[in-house]
Amino acid sequence: MVKKIEDLDFYELLNLGLDATPGEIEGAYLLAVATYHQEAMASRGVLSLEERGVILRRIEEAFETLADPDKRKTYDELILPQRPESQQRAYFRKSTEKLEIEDATEVQKFWARVSSSMLPVGLRRGRGRHRQHKNGKGWLNLQKDRHYYGEYLKSVREQRGLTLEEISQRAKISLALLAALEEEDEESLPQGKDRVRMLQAYARALGLNSANGGK
Amino acid sequence: MTEETYIQNTLLTVGGGKGGTGKSFLAAGLAIELGARSRNAVAVGAVLGGPNLPTLLGVRENGRDLGDFFRNRAPRLEDVLTETSYPGLKLIKGSENALFLANLHQAKKLKLIRQIKSLPARNVIIDLGTGSAFNTLDLFVIGQPGIVVVTPDPTSVENTYFFLKSCAVRILKLYIRYYKIPGLEEKIAGELEDGVSTLRTFLTVLASNDGATGRILQAALNSFRPCLVVNKARGDKDHLLGRSIVDVVRRYFLIELELLGTLPYDERVLWSLKKHIPFTREYPESEISLRIRDMAEKLAKSQPGDAGVGEAQRPV
């Protein structure tokens, strides 16, 4: 479907392949600016002021991220799972005990863990859908096997040099609840959808785009 | 009456809003090249006026034309074919009546389209002239591909966008009527034709409200794949313009425009026109002539359905 300009990833925005060289990135950036800047003939009369602002901002963001090798690496990890090229078919699983996805990136694993422990069987995406567990013994076993997501969120937060206060402000979640999330304090946390929503807000505040899991 | 099915290799339509951009010049150049390769090309001049196809191809003014075809003096399109001074290339002249295309009735237009598609020629090149009348648009979209010609000045760019947008809206309307989607036609008239929102905005909003309709209309646009030629380019900036236009059209009009090529400005074109000698014949090794040759080869090689060169599939 038609994506909003803001939702195009940086490579799509600049018409680049994932393996673009620095030279290609710079060329694409210059062409994009030449196409969309205020006086450009190619876009005169086509975009509203707002639309032009949106795309120019996005172009700057794109160049800033892709031109810096470290930022680019982080960014690649985020968007790669969403790309059609990286959608792999699930391995046939003999055992349906664990829900760990061995080859997924950190972000994918994170959401898989969250969804596996949060949502009822039917809503779970991808692997594990064939499970026949309902609430009950199997569910409990599941809880035992799952890996903690609080730890992961905390590590990403620290990596980015953000404090709980900052996240609390950005995600609009109380400090206490945030701390509980990181510690995975089951008693203090809401269940089901509310918790997922909180996790989504936290992740977004961290700059982790919600990948294919979650909702 | 049975019509022999003859597999046409290319059916090009050259159009685009403004006059003086070099549509006829390009159409003639491509027709000459394709005729030289296949020995069986037909150029169709839908309209007269300006340095037109007959002049460019060395054909005298008298002789039969499309007017005769429509007034039923000539039953088939082939009956109004004229020889040109180029081997392998024949011409169907446009009518003297400059407005004949705009005023064509639906039935006659369909007859014309049917017969164009069954012309016994390997390559057919139609010069549509200026304007965005409905009939012009309808003829443009049968092209595989249709080619718009733009020059590096703001008015020409604006006209090209208007032309392409009009084509897209025309296609969308046909789909809406075919699928009988209620209320959408008025919406399009209100939002798109008045130039209020871009096609992208329109379709994103539509898709979020009604996914199925959004998908149908998206599919309609996917089948429209015109090409762009930038003519009279001077300097690096102009040469980049083609790529910029392609990007804008893809992003905001959701049309898969492909850049076919850029032709540099050359004074000698005007001299040749004044002398009534086709430029490509007088300066066959010039940059322009070489690039037109490249374009013709590219167009002749690709088949319908290839990325970038395809026909608008739509319920007519």
Query: Long-range contact list for B291-296, CB < 8 A, 24+ apart?
Result: B291/B261, B291/B262, B291/B263, B292/B26, B292/B29, B292/B30, B292/B33, B292/B263, B293/B33, B294/B261, B295/B30, B295/B33, B295/B229, B295/B260, B295/B261, B296/B29, B296/B30, B296/B33, B296/B34, B296/B37
Cα–Cα dist B81/B91, whole Å: 6
Please report the pLDDT score of residue A87 as a whole number.
62
When comparing pLDDT for B60 and A143, which is higher?
Answer: B60
Sign of the alpha-carbon dihedral angle for A142, A145, A149, A151: positive
Separation in Å, CA of A116 to nearest CA in chain B: 29
| DSSP type of residue A3 | P
Give the residue from chain B lying closest to A12, CA to CA.
B251
Q: Which residue has the tokens 């002398």?
A: B275
Query: What number is the average pLDDT over the span B29-33?
Result: 94
Cα–Cα dist B192/B172, whole Å: 11
Are B27 and B53 a contacting pair, CB within 8 Å? yes
Separation in Å, CA of A114 to nearest CA in chain B: 28
Please report the pLDDT score of residue A24 as a whole number.
93
Mutate to test the interface with A, among B200, B237, B255 (most CBs of A within 10 A): B200
Angle separating helix axes A137-145 and A106-118, nearest 10 degrees: 150
Nearest residue to B199 via CA among B230, B227, B224: B224
Give the residue from chain B lying closest to A47, CA to CA.
B198
Name the pairing type of β-strands B41-45 and B123-127.
parallel
Query: What number is the average pLDDT over the span B149-155?
Result: 94
When comparing pLDDT for A81 and B267, which is higher?
Answer: B267
Separation in Å, CA of A32 to nearest CA in chain B: 7
> pLDDT tens digit string along A141-190?
444 444 456 777 777 787 777 888 888 888 888 888 888 887 777 777 77
Amino acid found at B124: V
Strand order of the sheet with strand B123-127? B82-83, B89-92, B41-45, B123-127, B10-15, B146-150, B227-233, B258-264
Question: Does position B221 have pLDDT exceeding 60, yes or no?
Answer: yes
Are B58 and B11 a contacting pair, CB within 8 Å? no
Please report the pLDDT score of residue A100 as a whole number.
53
Are B124 and B8 a contacting pair, CB within 8 Å? yes
Q: How many CA atoms lie within 13 A of A164 on its CB side?
A: 13
Please report the pLDDT score of residue B247 as a whole number.
94
Query: What number is the average pLDDT over the span A182-200?
Result: 76
Please report the pLDDT score of residue B97 as a whole number.
67
Query: What number is the average pLDDT over the span A82-110?
Result: 61
Per-residue confidence band for B259, with pLDDT thresholds at 50, 70 and 90:
very high
Give the residue from chain B lying closest to A32, CA to CA.
B244
Question: Does position B316 have pLDDT exceeding 50, yes or no?
Answer: no
Separation in Å, CA of B24 to nearest CA in chain A: 24
Name the pairing type of β-strands B146-150 and B227-233.
parallel
Q: Is A49 on the interface with B (CB under 8 A)?
A: no
Q: How many H helices and E strands in chain A?
A: 10, 0
Q: Which range has the worst mean pLDDT, A166-180, A185-199, B206-220, B277-291?
A: A185-199
Cα–Cα dist B20/B152, whole Å: 12
Please report the pLDDT score of residue A99 as a whole number.
52
Query: What number is the average pLDDT over the span B291-306?
Result: 81
Q: Which residues of A touch B262 (CB under 8 A)?
A: none
Q: Is A35 on the interface with B (CB under 8 A)?
A: yes
Per-residue confidence band for B48, with pLDDT thresholds at 50, 70 and 90:
low
Please report the pLDDT score of residue A146 as a whole number.
47
Q: Is A40 on the interface with B (CB under 8 A)?
A: yes
Query: Long-range contact list for B20-23, CB < 8 A, 24+ apart?
Result: B20/B50, B20/B151, B21/B149, B21/B150, B21/B151, B21/B156, B21/B231, B21/B232, B22/B149, B22/B151, B22/B231, B22/B232, B22/B263, B23/B127, B23/B128, B23/B129, B23/B130, B23/B149
Question: Does position B59 have pLDDT exceeding 50, yes or no?
Answer: yes
Residue in A4, A44, A47 nearest the CB of B154? A44
Per-residue confidence band for A14, with pLDDT thresholds at 50, 70 and 90:
very high
Write out the residues of chain B at the interface with chain A, using a CB-CB cutoff of 8 A: 152-154, 157-158, 161, 198, 200-201, 203-204, 207, 211, 214-215, 218, 237, 240-241, 243-245, 247-248, 251-252, 254
Mean pLDDT over the full length of chain A? 74
Query: What ipTM score was computed for the predicted complex, to two decimals?
Result: 0.80
pTM: 0.70
> pLDDT tens digit string along A1-13?
567 777 888 999 9
Please report the pLDDT score of residue B1 as a whole number.
43
Cα–Cα dist B164/B15, whole Å: 10
B142: tokens are 């049968």
Please report the pLDDT score of residue B214 as a whole number.
79
Residue in B161, B200, B247 nearest the CB of A2? B200
Question: Does position B90 have pLDDT exceeding 80, yes or no?
Answer: yes
Cα–Cα dist A124/A90, whole Å: 14
Please report the pLDDT score of residue A98 as a whole number.
52
Question: Does position A22 have pLDDT exceeding 80, yes or no?
Answer: yes
Please report the pLDDT score of residue B308 as a whole number.
41
Separation of first and last alpha carbons in chain B = 22
> pLDDT tens digit string along B183-196?
777 777 777 666 65
Query: What number is the average pLDDT over the span B163-186?
Result: 84
Question: Does position A23 have pLDDT exceeding 70, yes or no?
Answer: yes
| DSSP type of residue B306 | B
Give the residue from chain B lying closest to A42, CA to CA.
B245
B124 forms beta bridges with: B11, B42
Whole-number percent of chain B with pLDDT over 90: 35
Per-residue confidence band for A134, with pLDDT thresholds at 50, 70 and 90:
very low
Please report the pLDDT score of residue B100 as a whole number.
66
Q: Which residues of A touch B215 (CB under 8 A)?
A: 1
Cα–Cα dist B150/B260, whole Å: 12
Question: Does position A192 have pLDDT exceeding 50, yes or no?
Answer: yes
Cα–Cα dist B167/A163, whole Å: 54
Cα–Cα dist B47/B54, whole Å: 10
Give the residue from chain A lying closest to B212, CA to CA.
A1
Q: Is A51 on the interface with B (CB under 8 A)?
A: yes
Mutate to test the interface with B, among A1, A2, A33 (most CBs of B within 10 A): A2
